[in-house]
Amino acid sequence: MPQTTGDTPNGNLDSKPHRLPLMWRSFSRGLRNNWAFLLLIALFASDFHHGHPSREEDAWFIAFNALLLVFVLFAVALGVARHSTIELALQARFEQALRWNRRLLWIPGYGRSLEGWILLTAGRYLEAQDATKRGAFDKHGDPRLGSWQLYYYAMALSHQGNGTEAQELLEAALRLNPPIGRFHLGLADCLLEQNRDPDRARQLLDRMLANWEEAENPSRTRAKSSLRRGRYAWALARCGLRDEAVIQIHEAVAESAKFLNYDQAWLQYYAGETWRALGDTDKARTSFEAAIAVHPHGQVEQQTRKRLSELGCAT
C-alpha cells in the first residue's frame, strides 16, 4: 500500500543523518525553533533591570523571568519528546516509539496520540485500526470527519484490502472542503492502490503539488515534496502519460541521497510503482530492491516485498 501519511504528524525532522544522540538533536532543534522567544525574554530582562534597580523589584523581576523561562523550556521539552518519538518510528524503533508516546500522552500540551501513525508505519494495520477507532468515531458511531484518527483509521482499512470502505470515509471528509492536505493525499493513495480512477488520483495530486502549505519552520521539506511528486509520477503512469511520469519520477529522486533512509525507501517504492505501471519490469524490480536495501522495515518493506512477489521475484 502507499505510504500512510505522506507527511509525518508534526514531523519537523532534519533530512540528513546526524551523529548527535537523538535527544540532544531534538533539544537543539527545539532551541533553534524558540530562539526568538528566548531572546525576547533576555531583552525584556535587561531593560527591566536597567529601569528598576531596587532589591524588591529585582526579586519580582527574577521570579517573573524564571517563570517565563520555565514555560519556554517546558514547551521545548514537549517538542523534543514529540519529535524524538516520531524519529524513533522513522528509524524503525517502533516499540520504543510506542512506549514513549504512551508515557508522554498524560502531559498537558503533548498533543494528539501518535500511536495510530506509528502502528501504520510499522505495517501493523489491524492494531492501528483498533487504536484509532475510538477517536475516529463519536459515541453514536458517526465519523469525526476532520480527525487525524479518522485518517489513520481509513488508511488502516485500505491497507487491509478494505479500499471501498476507506474511500467512502475519505470522500466524506473531503466533502467538508478541508484545506489541501492529508485527506486529499489519503484518497489519492487509496485510488492508486485499488487501481481505480487514476485520473482522479492524478487531479488530487496535481492540486496538492500546486497548493500544499507547509507548517511553520518545516524541515524535511524537500523530502516530503519529493514523496508527493513520486506519487504524482505513479498516477501519471497509471493514466498512460509516460513522458510526464518519467520526468516527475526522475525529479522526485534527484536529491534522495540527502534524505532519511525511510524517505529514500518510499521514493524507490514509488519509482517501482511508476515503472511497473509503464510496463518496465526490470526498472520496477531494481527500484523495489533498492527500497528494501535502504530501509528493510515496517510498512515499506512489507509492501515492497509484495510487489516483488507479484513480479515473480524471490523475496
Q: Encode pLDDT of 83-120 as tens digits.
A: 889 999 999 999 999 999 998 888 887 788 999 999 99
What is the pLDDT confidence band of residue 70, given thresholds at 50, 70 and 90? low
**Burial category of 256 from C-beta neighbours within 10 Å (exposed 0-12, middle 13-18, buried 19 and up):** buried
- Sequence-distant (6+) residues with CB within 8 A of 132 are 115, 116, 149, 150, 152, 153, 156
Alpha helices in the chain (DSSP H): 22-33, 35-51, 55-90, 94-104, 115-121, 125-136, 148-159, 163-174, 182-194, 198-211, 221-238, 242-253, 261-277, 281-294, 298-310
> Confidence band (pLDDT; 50, 70, 90) for 138?
very high
Q: In this predicted structure, what is the pLDDT of residue 15?
A: 42
What does the alpha-carbon distance between residue 271 and residue 263 come to, in Å, rounded to a whole number? Answer: 12
Q: Looking at mean pLDDT, say which of 135-139, 195-199, 223-227, 273-277 comes out highest.
A: 273-277
Query: For 283-294, what is each residue's pLDDT tens digit?
Result: 999 999 999 999
Per the structure block, which three cell numbers stand in for 5? 501519511
Better pLDDT: 79 or 154: 154
Residue 163 to residue 63: CA distance in whole angstroms: 57
- Name the average pLDDT for the chain: 82
Domain ranges across the chain: 21-111, 112-213, 224-315
pLDDT at site 33: 52
- The one-letter code for the residue type at 75 is A
Pick the CATH number of 112-213 from 1.10.3470, 1.10.150, 2.60.40, 1.25.40: 1.25.40
Question: Residue 58's Cα: distance from chain center in Å?
Answer: 46
CA 129/CA 114 separation, integer angstroms: 13
pLDDT (mean) for 278-303 = 96
What is the number of other CB atoms lying within 10 angstroms of the CB of residue 260?
Answer: 21
Q: pLDDT band at 42, cuts 50/70/90?
A: low
Quote the pLDDT of residue 68.
67
Alpha-carbon Rg for the chain, nearest whole angstrom, is 22
Residue 20: the pLDDT is 44
Q: How confident is the model at residue 304 (pLDDT cuts 50, 70, 90)?
A: very high
Cell numbers standing for residue 17: 543523518
| pLDDT(191) > 90 | yes
| 253 band by pLDDT with thresholds 50, 70 and 90 | very high
- The reported pLDDT for the residue numbered 39 is 53
Q: Quick one: pLDDT at residue 57?
A: 57
Least confident of 13-27, 36-50, 294-308: 13-27
- Taking domain 224-315, whether its CATH number is 1.25.40 is answered by yes
Position with higher pLDDT, 67 vs 276: 276
Cα–Cα distance list, 203 to 1, 130, 232, 233, 239 (Å):
20, 32, 9, 12, 11
HSE of 239, CA atoms in CB hemisphere, 13 A: 21
Question: Distance between alpha carbon 168 and the CA centroid of its chain, in Å?
Answer: 22
DSSP 84-103: HHHHHHHTT-HHHHHHHHHH
What is the rounded distance in angstroms from the CA atom of residue 113 to the CA atom of residue 311? Answer: 37
Residue 312's pLDDT is what?
84
Residues 6+ positions from 84 with CB-CB distance below 8 Å: 22, 23, 26, 100
* Residue 12 in this model has a pLDDT that exceeds 50: no
Q: In this model, does residue 241 exceed pLDDT 80?
A: yes
- Range among 13-17, 180-184, 208-212, 215-219 rated most confident: 180-184
pLDDT above 70: residue 5: no
pLDDT digits (tens, 9 = 90+) for 71-93: 666 677 777 888 889 999 999 99
Whole-structure pTM value: 0.80
Is there a common fold for 112-213 and 224-315? yes
